[in-house]
Amino acid sequence: MMQVKFFRFSPRLSKDSPLDCTDEEILEMMVIMETKSFICYLVIEGKIKKIACVLRLKFDFFVVVLQPKKSTN
């Protein structure tokens, strides 16, 4: 079994709304109020820092692995 870290960043919304919703009041509540509070929750729980550390480690690994080898000539 592979050991892969999984992070889910999708806020739970208080209402169901269609994907093609254009009601500005509903969109404002969903995007501004609920998503902002979800992001604050992630920051408080430390999940943003955890995913940043994972991504930083992966990025550093790929930078080292993918760098072209320097010629000694």
The predicted pLDDT at position 37 comes to 86
Q: How confident is the model at residue 64 (pLDDT cuts 50, 70, 90)?
A: low
Contact 40, 51 (CB under 8 A): no
* Residues 6 or more apart whose Cβ sits within 8 Å of residue 11: 34, 35, 37, 38
The strand ranges marked E within the chain are: none
The predicted pLDDT at position 20 comes to 92
> What is the token pair recorded at 58?
């992966």
The three-state secondary structure class of 5 is: coil
The predicted pLDDT at position 31 comes to 78
Model pLDDT for residues 6-63, shown as the tens digit of each residue: 777 777 778 888 889 899 988 888 878 888 888 888 888 888 888 888 888 776 665 5
How much is the pTM? 0.48
